């Protein structure tokens, strides 16, 4: 569930273009959700969920970086061959 969080956060926030900001925001958001589950007794506070949600955010950020790299390489090749995009 946190993979889209890690992918879209750098797109909508300049501050999140650095990987460590995205990871820390993902961890903080996950911690907030887990704490709310504990307070309202809607689920269980699980440390594994914190770890897995944070890893999901990191994976999403990794996909974002791959997408940006692919997009820039594709545009660079188009400019070199004289194509208009």
pLDDT in tens, 16-54: 899 999 999 999 999 999 999 999 999 899 999 999 999
Round to whole Å and give the CA distance between 1 and 52.
10
pLDDT at 83: 61
**Does the CA dihedral 8-11-12-13 come out positive or negative?**
positive
| Model confidence at 74: pLDDT above 80 | yes
Q: What is the maximum alpha-carbon separation in the chain?
A: 61
Q: What percent of the chain has pLDDT over 90?
A: 76
| Model confidence at 59: pLDDT above 60 | yes
Is 50:30 a contact under the CB 8 Å cutoff?
Answer: yes
């Amino acid at each position: 569930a946190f993979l889209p969080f890690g992918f879209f956060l750098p797109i909508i926030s300049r501050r999140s273009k650095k990987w460590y900001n995205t990871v820390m925001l993902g961890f903080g958001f996950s911690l907030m959700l887990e704490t709310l589950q504990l307070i309202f007794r809607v689920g269980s506070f699980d440390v594994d969920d914190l770890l897995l949600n944070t890893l999901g955010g990191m994976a999403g950020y990794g996909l974002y970086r791959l997408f940006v790299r692919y997009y820039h390489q594709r545009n660079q090749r188009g400019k070199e061959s004289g194509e208009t995009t």
